[in-house]
Structure formats: structure tokens, C-alpha cells
Amino acid sequence: MSFKNDQVSLKETEYIINTASECLEVSGDFVELGCYKGDTSLALAEILKTSDKKLWIYDSFEGLPEKSSLDNSPLGEEFKKGELLVTKREVKERFLRAGLRVPVIKKGWFADFSSEDLPEKIAFCFLDGDFYKSIRDGLKLAENKLSEGAILIVHDYNNPALPGVKKAVDEWIGTRKLQVLETCAIIS
Ligand SMILES: C[S@@+](CC[C@H](N)C(=O)[O-])C[C@H]1O[C@@H](n2cnc3c(N)ncnc32)[C@H](O)[C@@H]1O
């Protein structure tokens, strides 16, 4: 399959795929918080083709929210409220066209989801919400669901255009192990 993605580099996508594949033996499902049009979601669904695990994907489907002051960067002017808008239907149709199992697709703001909106346990989580509050809220949602051995990848941790991502992760990380690859934080 082609890994065309205008939000995540090819190297990062390959790393996400390899890391998620290693989580096939970990208890729980795969989650993506901030799926946009579903490029990474399609790659994750491909990995799960022969697995009982489910893929759960989340997005406002209203585009990006408002930035907070923690997100301001002269390098990130293009990240504005309402950018990256796609519909839930468009994303669902991409899975159908690709002949892949349609994931659980949830529309809403991360802050408005509750624990019941997530799977019982998470084996792999990709968090890609661009802004401080989006990452903070996503981490809060996922943290109590992560299984022993689960891996969480946060996109844009090392991206100076989106400084709120690093702030949210650094506040949350505690004693967890963190590695950085390109812009991604890999947390285990
Ligand atoms: C960079 S895009 C995600 C790209 C996608 N992960 C991929 O690999 O193609 C960020 C997405 O996060 C969503 N988003 C950001 N903050 C959010 C929030 N607080 N609640 C819900 N969705 C949010 C936006 O609507 C947007 O679609």
C-alpha cells in the first residue's frame, strides 16, 4: 500500500507502522486521536487486517480548534482554527474504497469524550492533535487505558511550529520512557 500522507513524513509513517506492529502482541486495541482524513488510520487498519484487534479513530471533523497562547510560534502561522477539516463520511468512504475494515469513528472534541468512548484497553495509541490542549486532553483520555507494554506516539513533539505539543507531553510524562524520532515522541 502507498503511505502518502501530507501531515506525517514517510519516515515517521514507517516508524509508526513498525511500532504499531510490535504492539500486536500487547493486550488491547489501536487508537488514533486526531485522524484528519485517515492516512495513518488506513496504514494502521492494514496492519490489523488479520487481527481481532479493533481500530478506534477520533476527530472533531470540524478542523483544528482555537490555539492557546502556549501554541504560538512564528513558524506555525498556518495552523489556524478550522484548518484540516474533513467529514466523518469522507473518512469512512476511504476505508470502504480501500477494502479495509471500517474503524470505530468518533466525532467530537477530545475534551468532551469520556472513558466509555475509548476501548477497554489500548495496545497502541497515535496522538496527533497539534495543539497544547488537544494533546493534554488526549493524553488524559488514553492514560488509564494503556496496557502493560503499550506504546504511545505523539506527533509534532519536536516541531518548533507547534510548541504546545512538547509542553503538554513534558507536563504529563512523569517517569515514563521517552524517545524522539524526527518530530515524534515515542512513549512507553
Ligand atoms: C495533523 S491532523 C492529523 C493527521 C493524521 N493523524 C494523519 O496522520 O494524517 C490533526 C487533526 O486533529 C484534529 N484535532 C485537533 N485537536 C482536536 C481536539 N481537541 N479534538 C478533536 N480533534 C482535534 C483536527 O481536526 C485534525 O483533523
Say if 104 falls within a structural domain: yes
The angle subtended at Cα 183 by Cα 157 and Cα 89, nearest 5°, is 85
Domain that holds residue 15: 10-187
- The residue type found at 159 is N
Say if 79 falls within a structural domain: yes
pLDDT at 76: 84
Say if 92 falls within a structural domain: yes
What percent of the chain has pLDDT above 90?
94
pLDDT at 25: 97
pLDDT at 2: 61
What percent of the chain has pLDDT above 70?
98
32 CA: nearest ligand 1 atom: 6
- Please write the tens of the pLDDT for every residue from 119-147: 999 999 999 999 999 999 999 999 999 99
Say if 149 falls within a structural domain: yes
Predicted TM-score (pTM) of the model is: 0.97
- Please choose, from the candidates 88, 83, 77, 73, the residue with its C-alpha nearest in 3D space to the C-alpha of residue 38: 88
Mutate to test the pocket of ligand 1, among 10, 58, 84 (most ligand atoms within 8 A of CB): 84
Say if 1 falls within a structural domain: no
Neighbouring CB atoms inside 10 A of 165's CB total: 28
Q: Could you tell me the CATH number of the domain that includes residue 113?
A: 3.40.50.150
| 15 CB-contact burial (10 Å; exposed 0-12 / middle 13-18 / buried 19+) | middle
8 CA: nearest ligand 1 atom: 8
Rounded to the nearest angstrom, the distance between the alpha carbon of 37 and the centre of ligand 1 is 9
Residue 7's pLDDT band (cuts 50, 70, 90): confident
Say if 165 falls within a structural domain: yes
Say if 178 falls within a structural domain: yes
| Mean pLDDT calculated for residue range 90-103 | 97
| 55 CB-contact burial (10 Å; exposed 0-12 / middle 13-18 / buried 19+) | buried
pLDDT at 1: 60
- Please write the tens of the pLDDT for every residue from 34-63: 999 999 999 999 999 999 999 999 999 999
Tally the domains of the chain: 1
C-alpha to C-alpha distance for 55 and 48, rounded to whole angstroms? 8
C-alpha to C-alpha distance for 157 and 180, rounded to whole angstroms? 8
Q: Which residue has the cell 495496545?
A: 123
Say if 5 falls within a structural domain: no
pLDDT at 5: 79
Nearest Cα residue to atom 26 of ligand 1: 36
User: Residue 171, SS3?
Assistant: helix
pLDDT at 6: 82
